[in-house]
Amino acid sequence: MSGTTRRTFLAGSALFTIVPLAPASATPEAMAQAIRDLVGGRPVREGRVTLDLPPLVENGNAVPLTVSVDSPMTEADHVRAIHVFNEKNPQPRVFDATLGPRNGRAAVATRIKLGDSQRIVAIAETSRGELYGASADVIVTLAACLEDLT
Amino acid sequence: MTNVLINAPKAARKGEVIELKALILHPMETGFRPGTNGTIIPRNIIERFVATWNGVEIFSMAFSPAISANPFVSFFAVASESGRITFRWTGDEGFSAEESVAIEVA
Amino acid sequence: MRLPDRPARWAVGALLAGVFAVSFALAQLLPHAVTPAGAQAPDPRRSGTQDMGEALQRMQADDAANPAMLFVQLGEQLWSRPAGTTGKACDGCHTVADMKGVAVRYPAIPRGGDAPIDLEGRINRCRTEHQQAPALAPESRDLLALEAFVARQSRGLPIAPPDDPRLAAVREEGAALYRLRQGQLNLSCAICHDDNAGQKLAGVVIPQAHPTAYPIYRLEWQALGSLKRRLRNCLVGIRAEAWPLDAAPYVALEAYLMDRARGMRYEAPGVRP
């Protein structure tokens, strides 16, 4: 497959907004609530965060994901946490990483489970208390000829 | 102890930013999957991953059931001094695994 | 066009003959690609690796990220673990270097035997005959780990089915199974993997089904598994009777598939969706 896997969501305004993709389903609200619980009333800005996910995956059991944040990672100015949320899994959290100046680079990669095509949101917290966010939409397909008929 | 694969350089220059990769064998059972008889398979996941450099924490991650089975993590660290980088995983059912690697920093 | 008159025609003829002679002589000296016969056609066969997305290709290629490598590590540990009443480990008879080239020449008929066996059958034959240890159960973790460790030693080599003439009948049996329509959907392997390879089924590309990367970490299983397990998934997929894991037809089918993939690069252990 060709093309970049870099996916940074750009909204019209400078503030990052979380809009549930499918208002009818309960889980996008759960994701929005989980994000609200984390950020409180603080604004979440756009930029600095890159959420790398393949736009289409052949199986939702192990989707490679990388979150990287543009930051000097100095004692005075560094990323202290990265939080990732999902919209359609049974529960809205993916992971929470704590970082510091000893990382040198704010980038975390892992593999995640996605039960359905959905939006993933990453929010980074800096040592100055600022929040930056990005989101990406992933389409989850399945191979044919699986182990069980269900 | 369960199988663990660490990928870290054996040597680095002081101040160099190095990438550390860790892979561990673990089912990461979400607790949402029905078994063959219809009842839910109980949750059994790793909850926390911590990396320390000569005992000082440099990175930690709280896993949720959304992290894949046989979880993989990669992150970065500034090579500060020679010694040992230790990786520790803890989770459900008293799960605990630890592995450390030596690194030479010049 | 008016032909030149007699003396000029002779000159043209001589000139042409001379040009032909020189170019013929040159063609013998220059590499084959320059000859009029033309360059070799590219191999139309594709490994399933090429049909995966970039993210999964990278996962397979990186030994530090490929989940199958956890099983290779376990296999390496088992390689030197004593087993059976002999208390011998694999390394009591073999070096790891001995394993290079082994996985790519199975299935084979073992010395002193007459039935074909796959690599798992070979490992179990070593256990029962040389280690005096019980055979490992099909798809058991230890058997898969040893298989992954042995298979890893052949990575990068071309698939090289043995020249044993007794295997011809086995491969024919496998070919017949490959073309057999079966199950509620009345499909054969050939209908998807020969006739429709490269097309999409439910959003995913149908591969040509070459066993170039087995054993694989299948994301669907969230575990390492053998070709037999994958073939069994195919039978379930086409709503046919799924043969039990120790069924002999799997070995015949594998023998056919490995012969069909002869010369292709072995990539084990692979990652597949």
- Over 60: is that where the pLDDT of C168 sits? yes
Q: What is the CATH number of the domain that holds C261?
A: 1.10.760.10
The span from the CA of B60 to the CA of B88, in Å, is: 9
pLDDT of residue B37: 87
The mean pLDDT value for C59-73 works out to: 98
pLDDT in tens, C113-157: 999 999 999 999 999 999 999 999 999 999 999 999 999 999 999
Is residue C43 a part of any domain in this protein? no
pLDDT of residue C96: 98
Token pair recorded at residue A95? 């992971």
The span from the CA of B42 to the CA of B38, in Å, is: 12
The span from the CA of C267 to the CA of C151, in Å, is: 9
Q: What is the CATH number of the domain that holds B71?
A: 2.60.40.10
The residue segments making up the domain with residue C110 are 48-272
The mean pLDDT value for A21-28 works out to: 52
Is residue C113 a part of any domain in this protein? yes
Closest CA to C159 of C119, C198, C126, C195: C119
- Over 60: is that where the pLDDT of C222 sits? yes
Residues of chain C whose C-beta is under 8 A from some C-beta in B?
A: 63-65, 67, 69-71, 73-74, 77, 217, 222-223
ipTM computed for the complex? 0.96
Band (pLDDT 50/70/90 cuts) for residue A18 is low
Is any Cβ of chain A less than 8 angstroms from the Cβ of B95? no
Chain C environment of B3 (Cβ under 8 Å): 70-71, 73-74, 77
Residues of chain B whose C-beta is under 8 A from some C-beta in C?
A: 3-5, 7, 21, 23-25, 27-28, 68-70, 72, 74
The mean pLDDT value for B22-29 works out to: 98
CB C196 within 8 A of CB C206: yes
- The share of chain C scoring above pLDDT 70, in percent, equals 86
Is residue C24 a part of any domain in this protein? no
Q: Centre a 10 Å sphere on the Cβ of residue C159 and count the other Cβ atoms it contains.
A: 22
CA nearest A90 in B: which residue? B32
Is residue C13 a part of any domain in this protein? no
Of C202 and B14, the structure prediction assigns the larger pLDDT to: B14
pLDDT of residue C13: 60
* C222 → closest Cβ in A5, A57, A61: A61
pLDDT of residue C39: 65
Q: State whether C273 and A59 contact (CB < 8 Å).
A: yes
Q: Centre a 10 Å sphere on the Cβ of residue A109 and count the other Cβ atoms it contains.
A: 17
pLDDT of residue A3: 40
The span from the CA of C175 to the CA of C180, in Å, is: 9
The residue segments making up the domain with residue B38 are 4-105
CA nearest B32 in A: which residue? A90
- Nearest CA to CA, how far is A77 from chain C (Å)? 31
Tell me the backbone φ, ψ of residue A81, rounded to 5 degrees: -160, 150
Chain A environment of C233 (Cβ under 8 Å): 145-147
Is any Cβ of chain A less than 8 angstroms from the Cβ of C245? no
* 3-state secondary structure at position C44: coil
Closest CA to C101 of C119, C87, C121, C117: C119
- Over 90: is that where the pLDDT of B88 sits? yes
- The domain tally of chain B equals 1
pLDDT of residue C33: 41
Is residue A149 a part of any domain in this protein? no
3-state SS, chain B, equals CCCEEEECCCEECCCCEEEEEEEECCCCECCCCECCCCCECCCECEEEEEEEECCEEEEEEEECCCECCCCEEEEEEECCCCEEEEEEEEECCCEEEEEEEEEEEC
- Over 70: is that where the pLDDT of C22 sits? no
- Nearest CA to CA, how far is C57 from chain B (Å)? 16
Is residue A64 a part of any domain in this protein? yes
pLDDT of residue A12: 35
CA dihedral A86, B2, A59, A120 (to 10 degrees): 10
CA nearest A114 in B: which residue? B66
Q: Is A47 exposed, middle or buried (0-12, 13-18, 19+ CB in 10 A)?
A: middle
pLDDT of residue A9: 43
- The domain tally of chain C equals 1
Chain A environment of B64 (Cβ under 8 Å): 91, 93-95
- The share of chain C scoring above pLDDT 90, in percent, equals 82
Chain A environment of B66 (Cβ under 8 Å): 86, 89, 91, 93-95, 112-114
The span from the CA of C103 to the CA of C91, in Å, is: 17
- Over 60: is that where the pLDDT of B74 sits? yes
- The domain tally of chain A equals 1
Band (pLDDT 50/70/90 cuts) for residue B27 is very high
Is any Cβ of chain C less than 8 angstroms from the Cβ of A62? yes
Is any Cβ of chain C less than 8 angstroms from the Cβ of A149? yes
The residue segments making up the domain with residue A51 are 6-140
The mean pLDDT value for C38-59 works out to: 90
Q: State whether A109 and B67 contact (CB < 8 Å).
A: no
- The share of chain B scoring above pLDDT 70, in percent, equals 100
Q: Which chains touch A (3 or more CB pairs under 8 A)?
A: B, C
pLDDT in tens, A50-98: 999 999 999 999 999 999 999 999 999 999 999 999 999 999 999 999 9
Angle at CA of residue A123, ends A120 and A124, nearest 5°: 145
* B71 → closest Cβ in A93, A96, A111: A111
pLDDT in tens, A96-128: 999 999 999 999 999 999 999 999 999 999 999
Band (pLDDT 50/70/90 cuts) for residue B9 is very high
The mean pLDDT value for B92-102 works out to: 98
Least confident of A15-19, B86-90, C131-135, C258-262: A15-19
Q: What is the CATH number of the domain that holds A69?
A: 2.60.40.2470
The mean pLDDT value for A17-25 works out to: 46
| Chain B, chain C: beta-carbon pairs less than 8 Å apart | 36
- Over 70: is that where the pLDDT of C1 sits? no
Substitution target in A4, A58, A139 with the highest count of C β-carbons within 10 Å is A58
pLDDT of residue C95: 98
* A147 → closest Cβ in C58, C233, C273: C233
The mean pLDDT value for B37-59 works out to: 96
* A54 → closest Cβ in C55, C221, C232: C55
Q: State whether A110 and B71 contact (CB < 8 Å).
A: yes
pLDDT of residue C31: 43
pLDDT of residue C14: 63
Cβ neighbours of residue A133 closer than 8 Å, sequence gap 6 or more: A16, A18, A44, A45, A46, A49, A121, A122, A123, A124
Amino acid present at A18: I
Q: What is the mean pLDDT of chain C?
A: 90
CA distances from C9 to C16, C18, C22, C177 (A): 10, 14, 20, 66
pLDDT of residue A66: 98
